[in-house]
Structure 1
Amino acid sequence: MAEEKPYLTGRTYIFRLPKGKDLLESLADFCHDNQVKCGVVNVVGSVVNATVGYYDQSKKKYEKKVINEEMELLSLMGNISIQDNRPMVHAHVVLADSEFNTVGGHLLPGTKIYVCEAYIQELVGEPKVRRSDKVTKLSLWA
């Protein structure tokens, strides 16, 4: 394992995400546009639909669940690093339906924003870079 170095806190952003856009893509685009290469992200709000994943460790692949209904976004937490020379957001979510049932998982492309408020804390230092891991088949920090 490489020697870990501390990070300093950089810029802090609080903002609303655009209605109707893809949640994961919108966060990554914001990071790209504002040159945020490393950080943490939190989001609350609601979505029109959601796509989440569960990583099956034995199959070494994500099982995808598409939810075609309005959901409350109770919590999105994640990190920002670099993959393929571009900011990449790795996020997990907890969502609730109209019956107050919850579902959670790895946020995948395909989750459409209704209204979402985001908080991004930039971390200043050597950005973490994601690379494919041979053992898990996941894109992990190198």
Structure 2
Amino acid sequence: MKSISALLFTLFLVINFSAQEKEICRYTKTLTGFLMVLREGDDVISRIENLAKTENIPSASFTGIGFAADVTFGFYDFNAKKFNPKTFKKVEMGSLTGSIAWNEKGASIHIHGVATDDKFKAFGGHILSIHVGTGSMEIYITASDKKLERKIEQPLNANVLQLSCQQ
């Protein structure tokens, strides 16, 4: 009897720990694209890039909300042709908006947003990096069937979305 109890207890532990080790689902397909629910510590841009590659998304737009452990905004200096970064910690993303396209390196994510701190001060602009904070972040992705590309354009050295107006 004691050995059966020990066996059952061991089996319970194995099943329980195996279930805890499974990857938490980060996205699901919807009628218009995908819904992502990201968790604490997730790199938002990397997760969107991976989704675009895994699901072979030709192009898309997206919106989102949620908590960020840190977000780095970049204000583009047109004379220096580079972003001047500024990082904010423990903020709530009141808005995220962006697009998915492609370049020679792979998926190209362009994202802007507005973050607020605990005193309701708002900061915003082009997002260079962002990680999910305590809680989660929801991102709604609307996919398109037309592949879009980005290319570096001079003289600004800017990564610009390319359009073909031919049908």
TM-score range, shorter chain: 0.7 to 0.9
1:136 pairs, out of 156, 160, 164, with 156
Among 26, 32, 41, the residue aligned to 2:62: 41
Check the 8 A contact 1:47/1:72 in 2, yes or no: yes
The structure whose RCO (Cα within 8 Å, separation 6+) is larger is 1
1:55-95 per-residue CA deviation (whole Å, 9 max, x = no partner) reads 1122221110112x210011010111002252211010100
Aligned length: 130
1:25 counterpart SS class: helix
Tell me how far apart the structure 1 counterparts of residues 105 and 56 of structure 2 sit (CA, whole Å): 12
What pairs with 1:66-81 in structure 2 (closer than 5 Å)?
A: 66-67=87-88, 69-81=89-101
Whichever structure has more helix as a proportion of its residues is 2
What residue in structure 1 maps to residue 110 of structure 2?
90
TM-score (norm 2): 0.73
- Give TM-score, length-normalised by structure 1: 0.85
For the pair 1:117 / 2:138, whether they are aligned, the reply is: yes
Letter of the 1:135 counterpart: P
Paired letter, 1:112: H
Among candidates 64, 74, 81, match of residue 85 of structure 2: 64
Q: Which runs of 5+ in 2 are unaligned?
A: 1-30, 163-167
SS in 2 for 1:87: strand
Work out whether residues 14 and 120 of structure 1, in 8 Å CA contact, stay in contact via their aligned partners in 2.
yes
Are 1:24 and 2:61 counterparts?
Answer: no
Identity of aligned residues (%): 22
Helix, strand or coil at the partner of 1:70: strand
SS in 1 for 2:120: coil
Equivalent residue letter for 1:45:
G
